[in-house]
Amino acid sequence: MLKNKYVIYDAADGFKPSTASCYWFIFCQDEILLKVTDSCQCEIPKGSDAPVNVEPWNRIHPIAKIENHDCVAVSVDMSDAPEGYVFYPLRQSFNVLPYVFYSIAGKAREILYWDKNTQYCGACGSPMKFHTTISKRCTCCGKEVWPSLAIAIIVLISHNDEVLLVQSRKFKGNYYGLVSGFVETGENLEQCVIREVLEETSLEIDHLQYVGSQAWPFPSALMAAFRAQYVRGNLNLQYSELSKGGWFKWNNLPDLPKEDSIARKMIDKWVHEQRGL
Ligand SMILES: [Zn+2]
């Protein structure tokens, strides 16, 4: 492969070739290419050349810097990883990558997803052209678009020494998580939490407390996390959304979401508090 043949779009400087060693966040659909080291560890490939063939139409996106090294994202079509590399599901890469790389991989996936889905203007149908690294402008009517996030809430509801855990029909696995849902137009986060809990469980809650948020790049969401306390109502699950659920004591919990999720962090923190009481 020729050195420095890649063209990376930089809004400030125009098109410029990559001249330095980059971290390559290479995706094939939802899987990320990782290099397998001699000690069988996985890492993000690094070098002035991509470890796979990048076609001229595979746009390379600058997305971040780590220690003065550009992090670039590119989507490729290929069936097998080259020797010494492996395609890894993005979410599972949490278990093998340092968090900073996992986090950038999530951003890379979101940018690639957005680029793929905004090739044409939603208003007039003309081709869109990059205006900055994270915005595009219609070549005909001038409409601008940026990566958009779906905003979701997730809530841990407790009642004395019990927590409400539910199993969404979307879960891949027999574990229990927390009530969650997407914010609707015209709603604020708190209204969304109260509505989702009422819709999915028939329970009323109060003492809403914002806990934190988490980027959720599957494919592009932002999760806002809350805690709340049960007030009244009998648990009555919305079976179109949830397959099962119930109140669980802190020392008798079912299988829980993975450690990368804010749901798991909230449950672990609540258990820790209960244990100390
Ligand atoms: Zn247009």
Please tell me the distance between residue 111's alpha carbon and the centre of ligand 1 in angstroms: 20
Which homologous superfamily does the CATH classification assign to the domain defined by 150-276?
A: Nucleoside Triphosphate Pyrophosphohydrolase (3.90.79.10)
Q: Please state, in angstroms and as integers, the Cα–Cα distance from residue 123 to each residue in 111, 140, 185, 216, following that order.
A: 21, 10, 20, 28
Is the per-residue pLDDT at 52 higher than 60?
yes
Query: What pLDDT was estimated at residue 14?
Result: 44
- Residue ranges of domains in the chain: 7-117, 150-276
Please tell me the distance between residue 27's alpha carbon and the centre of ligand 1 in angstroms: 29
Query: Tokens standing for 109?
Result: 């996936």
Domain covering 7-117 in this structure, CATH number: 3.90.79.20
pLDDT for 115-125, tens place per residue? 999 999 999 99
Please tell me the distance between residue 147's alpha carbon and the centre of ligand 1 in angstroms: 17
pLDDT-derived band of residue 6, with 50, 70 and 90 as boundaries?
low
| C-alpha count within 13 angstroms, C-beta hemisphere, residue 169 | 8
Q: How far apart are CA 24 and CA 10, in angstroms?
A: 16
Q: What is the ipTM of this complex?
A: 0.99
pLDDT for 212-241, tens place per residue? 999 999 889 999 999 999 999 999 999 999
Query: What pLDDT was estimated at residue 258?
Result: 87
Query: What pLDDT was estimated at residue 143?
Result: 97
Q: How far apart are CA 245 and CA 165, in angstroms?
A: 6
Mean pLDDT of 78-104: 92
Q: What residues flank ion ligand 1 with Cβ within 5 A? A: 121, 123-124, 126, 138, 140-141, 143
Q: Please state, in angstroms and as integers, the Cα–Cα distance from residue 34 to each residue in 121, 147, 169, 229, following that order.
A: 34, 25, 31, 43
pLDDT for 19-35, tens place per residue? 578 999 999 988 999 99
Query: What pLDDT was estimated at residue 141?
Result: 98
Lowest mean pLDDT among 17-21, 95-99, 145-149, 262-266: 17-21
